[in-house]
Amino acid sequence: MVRGSEPSAVKALAFFWIQERVVTITHTYTRCRMKTWQGKWAVVTGASAGIGKAFCIELAAGGTNLVLVARRRDHLSELAAMLSPRHSIKTETCPTDLAQPSGCEEIFTFTQRKGIEVDLLINNAGFGA
Ligand SMILES: NC(=O)c1ccc[n+]([C@@H]2O[C@H](COP(=O)([O-])OP(=O)(O)OC[C@H]3O[C@@H](n4cnc5c(N)ncnc54)[C@H](OP(=O)(O)O)[C@@H]3O)[C@@H](O)[C@H]2O)c1
């Protein structure tokens, strides 16, 4: 078979095989980096969906305790209930509307009241694509 004339199905399979390896390596690297925050507290805004939720999942896998912030209380509770037992981490949910002027103050007061010393802030809340 002349090089470059492989059937497209073979090319597609080779592409997916390589893509899968790249994703696995990237994922392993990210998990290792996330271990930096093991046992520390992170506040993640926009934690109920999308990128913020993905950050929570990765941080939890690395052993980071989480304060989950967004408006949808049920989504936050569901995520907290999933991550806490799975990774033996502490989670707190702080339903807050960050479009309100009092939003940041509410999170600050919440963490103070709970005696949480925040080591990491992922300020991600906003409109998605
Ligand atoms: N996706 C992209 O391609 C892309 C590209 C560049 C930048 N970004 C930025 O990355 C961030 C996340 O994007 P995404 O795609 O993950 O968005 P997404 O899926 O729409 O999620 C947005 C998150 O922000 C929360 N949120 C929205 N308004 C809020 C408010 N007023 N108060 C508190 N929480 C609020 C939402 O939760 P509730 O609805 O429960 O409040 C949700 O958890 C955004 O800031 C976006 O601008 C995204």
Task: Give the pLDDT confidence score for residue 5 in this predicted structure.
Answer: 60
Task: Give the pLDDT confidence score for residue 100 in this predicted structure.
Answer: 97
Regarding the beta carbon of 101 and ligand 1, being less than 6 Å apart is answered: no
Give the range of the structural domain holding residue 82, as residue numbers without chain letter.
Answer: 36-123
CA of 100 relative to ligand 1 center, distance in Å: 15
Task: Give the pLDDT confidence score for residue 101 in this predicted structure.
Answer: 96
Which of ligand 1's atoms lies nearest the C-alpha of 97?
A: 32
SS3 label, residue 42:
strand
CA of 79 relative to ligand 1 center, distance in Å: 16
Mean pLDDT by 10 residues, the chain (129 residues): 66 77 69 81 98 97 97 98 98 98 98 98 90
In this structure, is residue 112 part of a structural domain? yes
Task: Give the pLDDT confidence score for residue 128 in this predicted structure.
Answer: 72
What CATH number corresponds to the domain at position 82? 3.40.50.720
In this structure, is residue 8 part of a structural domain? no
Task: Give the pLDDT confidence score for residue 115 in this predicted structure.
Answer: 98
> Nearest Cα to 88, choosing from 68, 63, 70, 106?
63
Number of compact structural domains in the chain: 1
Q: Supply the residue whose CA is at minimum distance from atom 36 of ligand 1.
A: 46
Distances (CA, A) of 49 to 70, 74, 78, 83, 124: 9, 12, 11, 14, 10
